[in-house]
Structure 1
Amino acid sequence: MEVKVKYELEFPIHVSPSLLYQYISTPSGLSEWFADNVNSRGELFTFIWDDSEEKAKLISKRSGERVRFRWLDEDGVETEYFFEMKILEDEITKDVSILIIDFAEEEELDEARLLWENQISDLKHVLGSN
């Protein structure tokens, strides 16, 4: 089994934390920018892209702040890998950014980062934030 490395990316995003939270924590919000379609049954989320489907379990969330999903393998067993989206707000300037914590194989890091950049770009477009 390949070993994945943890990485973090931060993107400034000009929108209220409460609105942003709707887009990172709900199936309807996530399907507007993260995947072609997102279904959930309780804590179990199914992310659908063109011809692939991945399942993840919502393992923690804090309203207005963050969500963390743990990927499931093809048998529905939790893997050690997760991805987290955390909303950061500067106390003084009130600037908002989104912090992404994810895992990728070493040789796929650049590709993984690029994918997140594209997805966050889509998110900003949906939110009307540049």
Structure 2
Amino acid sequence: MEVKVKYELEFPINSSPQLLYQYISTPSGLSEWFADNVNSRGEIFTFIWEDTEERARLASRKSGEKVKFRWIDEGDKDTDYFFELKIMEDEITKDVSLLVTDFAPEDELGEAAQLWENQVADLKHVIGSV
């Protein structure tokens, strides 16, 4: 199995943490920017992109702050890989940013980061933070 490395990206977003949380924690919010369609049954989320379907377990959530999804393999087992979306707010300036933690093969880090940049650009467009 291919080894993936962990990486983090931070994106400034002009939004309230409460509004942003709706877009990162609910199937309807996620399907507006992250995937073509998102369904959930309990803590299992199914992410659909064109011909691809991936399942992840909602591993943890902290209301208004972060969500963490752990990918599930073909045998319905949790993998070592996850992605986490964390909302950070500067206490003084009140600037809000989204911290993305994800994994990718080392030789695909640039592509993976570009994909997140595109996804987050969609998110900013959806919430009017352009």
Task: Sort the TM-score into its range (normalised by shorter chain).
Answer: over 0.9
Task: Give the deviation of 1:75 after TM superposition.
Answer: 1.6
Paired residue for 1:36? 36
CA distances 1:23-52 after superposition (whole Å, capped 9, x unpaired): 000000000000000000010000000000
- Give every structure 1 segment of 4 or more consecutive aligned residues whose post-TM-superposition deviation is greater than 6 Å: none
Q: Following the alignment from structure 1 to structure 2, what is the Cα–Cα distance between the partners of residues 102 and 85?
A: 9
Residue number in structure 2 paired with 1:61: 61
1:73 aligned residue: 73
Give structure 1 stretches of 5+ with no counterpart: none
2: CA distance between counterparts of 1:57 and 1:24? 14
Unaligned runs of 5+ in 2: none
Aligned length: 130
Q: Secondary structure of the equivalent of 1:101? A: strand
Where do 1:36-115 residues align within 5 Å?
36-115=36-115
Specify the alignment match of 1:4 in structure 2: 4
Q: After superposition, give the CA deviation of every residue in 1:85-127 in whole Å (9 maximum; x if it has no partner).
A: 0000000000000000000000110000000000000000000
Cα distance in 2 between the residues matched to 1:94 and 1:102 = 25
Q: What is the alpha-carbon root mean square deviation over aligned residues? A: 0.4
SS at match of 1:85: strand
Percent of pairs with identical residues: 75
Query: What is the SS of the residue equivalent to 1:33?
Result: coil
Q: Which residue of 1 aligns with 2:19?
A: 19
Determine the structure 1 residue equivalent to 2:122: 122
Deviation at 1:68, TM superposition (A): 0.1
Amino acid at match of 2:22: Q
